Every structure is written in C-alpha cells, then in structure tokens.
Amino acid sequence: MIPAELPKRTALTFDEIMSTTTSPDTQFRAARWQGDHAGYLELIDQTLLPTTFKIIECRTVEEVWEAIKKLRVRGAPAIGIAAAYGVCLGLQTVPADAEEDDTDFFARLKEVAEYLATSRPTAVNLFWALDRMQRKAESLRGSTSLLDLKEQLLTEAKTIESEDQAMCEAMGQAGAELMPAGGGILTHCNTGGLATAAYGTALSVIYFAHKNGKGIQVFADETRPLLQGARLTMWELQQWKIPSTLICDSMAAQVMKEGKIQAVITGADRIAANGDSANKIGTYGLAVLAKAHNIPFYIAAPSSTFDLSLASGDQIPIEERASEEITCGYGKQTAPDDVQVYNPAFDVTPAELIQAIICEHGVIDPVTTDNIAKVLGK
C-alpha cells in the first residue's frame, strides 16, 4: 500500500536556505542515507520548492516508490541513487539471522527491484541501478551471511552515489570548456544538485563555466507543465549566485532571435546507442530552434544514462503522466472539465541535432554510434 503522505523531518523557508547555501559544495543533497543497513533514506521533497524546503524520511520501499512516482525525488541520476537505497530498505523485512537459507532474501530482492522498476519508465538510471544492486548480491550469493549481504548492498548504493558525485564534477569541468565566454546559455528543466548527487549534469557545466570566470548569463525555461525550471533550476542558480533570467518555454525562439543565446545545454534521461536522447518534454523543440538559429545544442549526462541496448530513440519508452498536471496545475483549474489531454513527460532529440554529448569520460563529438561506443569504451 502506498502512503498518502510522507513524514516531515525538516522545514525551512526559502530565505533560510538562501542564507546558508551558496554553492554545490554546501547545498543539501537530494538523497542521503542515515545509519547502517537498518537505517533510512532522507530526500528533499522537491514538489514543495522553491517556497518550502522539507526533508522527508523514507523508511520503507513503498515510500521510496511513492517519492519517485510523485517527483519528490527526480532527475535521472538521483532516481537511480534513490532506487539503490530503496533496495536496501526493502530488504530490511528479511531477518538477517536466517543464515541457513537465502531463498527468501533473493526472492525479496527480486520483488523489491521489480516493484521499484514500475515507478517511472523513461529514466534508464533507475533500471541501471536496480540491475547493479541485483548483480552485486548475486556475486556474493552463498559466500557470506545475510547480514553481510545487507551491509555490502548498502555499500554498493553508497558507491553509486559517490561515483555520481565524481561524474558530476568531471562533466562540469569538461563541458565548461565548450561554453562561450560572455555568452548567453539556455537550459531546460532541472539538471543540478537536486537531480544528482552533487553539482548536476548540465548545471554542473554551467556552474564550472561561471566558477572559471567565463562571465556567462543563464536563461532558464520555466519547463511546463510542472515548472522544474522555474521552481528548481532558478532556485539553484540563485543559491550559486550565477546571473540568470527566467523565461516561459514559448519565449525561447524570440530570445534566440534577439541574439541573447550562444549555447543551449540540457540533461537527458536516456540516450540510445546512436545518440538520440530522451529528456524533459520541450527539449526536442529547443534543439530544432537552436539548429534554425545556428546555435550549438549540447547534452550533459553520465555514462549510466546511455542505454546501448537501444539502437535509436524510437525504442525509448515515453512516460505519459496524469492529465491533472496540465488541467489543474498546483491546485488551480486552468481548463474545462472533461477536456482531452495528452501529457508525455519526455521527448526524443535526434542525434543529428546534438552538437556534442558531455559525459564523465569526455566530450562525444560528433554524436555517432561508433563515437559513443569509443568514448564509453564499449
């Protein structure tokens, strides 16, 4: 049974957070484990930002599923991290002293992983993390106690988180070199510390370009219908004191035409073997606009976001979310009753529209199947 509401641990106003958080080095982490294998997961409830900052405690796998489904935690890397910790929570129901038989343990592991996999279909990091946790457990099967299995799986989840922190910095450093000095950079949705374990993906590139003195000006799309750009990206950019301007999604073409944009950079939730990239709805349109205005379009994403089992973006499953996100956004009805709604959460940008993909291994340019395989070492 999915809980209707998660417990509240900490609540801070926007001004209180702003007074204590000025860089990714000090900001609150999107996901944080507390305690040993019998501990719990803390998440920032991102549905309440920017006006309220709350940390919620997830003590069951059902609460993690709900947090992912309801976008309390979001962003492909952060979803993967939360799912890995969710596995640890789900296994807490198996007694650690049942040493004579691990059948129940591995049956529960399979059940938990399959359950978490139903939370959201598009972000491949979710499935990557769940598969990694299962492979880790299988590699230890029969060679250690159930208590040690639990502890080792928690260590694996923490490793996934720490690896993402390192990847965020590597992407930021590599991508900053591509950003235009003194130029305007347009971004879409949220790709910062709230979506990852540290600096972010596309926002990491922006952060390091700013930190390196490039004198950039950021333009952030509000990102309809859930306004992640307005609520989350602008929140992070203000904390980091990066010059930034919020625009409506429909203003991007005009801002480009006025010559205010010299680069576009976004994240991704799944990248096919040929470079076709799924990201928040509206990204494809930005890539088309960038091409029409001769502006380079970049994507920043870790290697865990690549799904080399898919030849092209045509095979990427696209999540369709509830119609109420459009018709009754944030509690106010903005459309007639019983109106038909189509609400895909993602779209796919073809590889030919992408100037380069930035990952922790470097810059993939040009974006081709062979070059992707070469850079990723696969």
With residue 154 as reference, give the H or E element that holds it: helix 146-176
Give the chain's end-to-end CA distance (angstroms, integer): 41
Partners of residue 217 on adjacent β-strands = 184
Distances (CA, A) of 80 to 31, 198, 270, 364: 10, 14, 12, 23
How far is the C-alpha of 59 from the C-alpha of 90, rounded, in Å? 9
How far is the C-alpha of 234 from the C-alpha of 49, rounded, in Å? 11
Q: Estimate to the nearest angstrom the gap between the alpha carbon of 351 and the chain centroid.
A: 20
Q: Provide the annotated active-site residues.
A: 269
Distances (CA, A) of 35 to 32, 42, 45, 65, 151: 10, 11, 20, 20, 11
Question: What is the rounded (10 degree) CA torsion for 223, 224, 228, 229?
Answer: 30
How far is the C-alpha of 250 from the C-alpha of 247, rounded, in Å? 8
DSSP 196: S
Are 346 and 122 in contact by the 8 Å Cβ rule? The answer is: yes
Q: What is the 3-state secondary structure (H, E, C) of 287-351?
A: HHHHHHCCCCEEEECCHHHEECCCCCHHHCCCCECCCHHHHCHHHCCCCCCCCCCCCECEEEECH
**Which tokens hold the place of 330?**
């944030």
- Directed axis angle between helix 103-116 and helix 124-140, to 10°? 170
Cis omega (within 30 of 0) for bond into 317: no
323: exposed, middle or buried (Cβ count in 10 Å: 0-12, 13-18, 19+): middle
Choose among 375, 376, 369, 361: nearest CA to 175. Answer: 361
